[in-house]
């Protein structure tokens, strides 16, 4: 798929709305489903396909950058992820990210349903609704894999954990990961993991421009890394949620997952820096990027990669 260039901001103001579509996971950000017109305005878009436009605003005004950076990193480390592009609604004066739906493509004969992790946890975990956060444990996630015969559960969650540690994603709650379910026969379903999605709560999106210089010191960066926590806990008995500690525990307990976790380390830093530098050339009415943030995010990702390498014992 061709890359989006700094000059190719997608304006969705005239795109047809899909107001009745309600399957995509519910979240706290304003969002709306739209259809790409025919012909597609840019080569990285799919004519006639459904997209989700997620608006960035207020203290989350920079989350679209986290989404597209995470998508670029995911592509480079063999992590299946929903494609994301910088977009705007010129009539509403809104900026955000345009997320490609990862199923239901034009001409496809595959018609799966998207089922959230929370939906299956409700079926399997007793008293899940009493405290959903407490029951969101890696032990319960792996139980789902065995119960519903989900292939690659161990490898997929190894990727999730290491990738989330790399970008500092704190929002992989059970509605932010899920499965594509395809009916087999009359009553059976085949489950496979959906690509990773919803990475806006990562990469220091909340950092104000005036604080970048202060937060760029090695001491501040390390403090930032140590504070980060995953949404999932290790187990009922061990509530560990620290990004890097969780990765270390997972790799130690399930060494078969280590090779895919290590793939998260294998991205080209020069390519990343070129991507971040290009963000400063993107013209938006609000929520713009600057060179100082490019340098900070590059340094942050480098520090996170080193911490992840140590957590995985390499």
What is the predicted pLDDT for the residue at 296?
A: 98
Q: Which residues of the chain have pLDDT under 50?
A: 22-25
Burial class (CB in 10 A: 0-12, 13-18, 19+), 278: middle
Residue 184 has a pLDDT of: 84
What confidence score (pLDDT) does residue 28 get? Answer: 52
Contact indicator for 25, 116 with CB cutoff of 8 Å: yes
pLDDT at 1: 59
Instruction: Give the separation between CA 138 and CA 156, rounded to whole angstroms.
Output: 12
Q: Does the N-terminal peptide bond of residue 39 adopt cis geometry, omega within 30 degrees of 0? A: yes
- 77: which residues sit within 8 A by CB, 6+ positions away? 163, 166, 263, 264, 265, 266, 267
Please answer whether residues 261 and 159 qualify as being in contact, where contact means their C-beta atoms are separated by less than 8 angstroms.
yes
**What is the predicted pLDDT for the residue at 110?**
76
Confidence (pTM): 0.95
CA distance 314 to 309: 5
pLDDT at 25: 47
């Amino acid at each position: 798929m061709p890359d989006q260039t700094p000059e190719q901001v997608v304006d969705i103001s005239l795109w047809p709305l899909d107001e009745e579509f309600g399957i995509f996971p519910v979240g706290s950000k304003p969002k709306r489903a739209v259809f790409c017109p025919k012909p597609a305005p840019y080569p990285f878009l799919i004519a006639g396909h459904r997209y989700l436009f997620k608006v960035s605003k207020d203290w989350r005004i920079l989350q679209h950058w986290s989404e597209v950076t995470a998508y670029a990193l995911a592509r480079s480390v063999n992590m299946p992820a929903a494609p994301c592009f910088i977009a705007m609604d010129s009539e509403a004066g809104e900026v955000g990210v345009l997320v490609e739906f990862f199923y239901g493509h034009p001409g496809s004969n595959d018609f799966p349903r998207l089922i959230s992790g929370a939906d299956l946890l409700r079926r399997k975990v007793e008293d899940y609704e009493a405290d959903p956060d407490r029951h969101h444990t890696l032990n319960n996630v792996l139980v789902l894999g065995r119960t519903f015969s989900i292939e690659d559960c161990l490898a997929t969650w190894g990727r999730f954990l290491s990738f989330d540690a790399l970008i500092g994603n704190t929002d992989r709650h059970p509605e932010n990961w899920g499965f594509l379910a395809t009916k087999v026969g009359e009553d059976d379903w085949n489950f496979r993991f959906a690509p990773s999605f919803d990475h806006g709560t990562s990469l220091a999106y909340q950092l104000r421009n005036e604080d970048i210089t202060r937060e760029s010191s090695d001491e501040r960066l390390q403090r930032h890394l140590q504070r980060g926590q995953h949404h999932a806990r290790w187990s009922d008995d061990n509530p560990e949620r620290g990004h890097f500690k969780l990765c270390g525990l997972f790799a130690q307990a399930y060494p078969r997952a280590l090779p895919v976790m290590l793939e998260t380390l294998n991205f080209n830093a020069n390519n990343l820096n070129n991507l971040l530098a290009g963000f400063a050339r993107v013209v938006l009415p609000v929520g713009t990027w600057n060179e100082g943030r490019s340098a900070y995010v590059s340094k942050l990702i480098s520090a996170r990669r080193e911490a992840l390498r140590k957590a995985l014992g390499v």
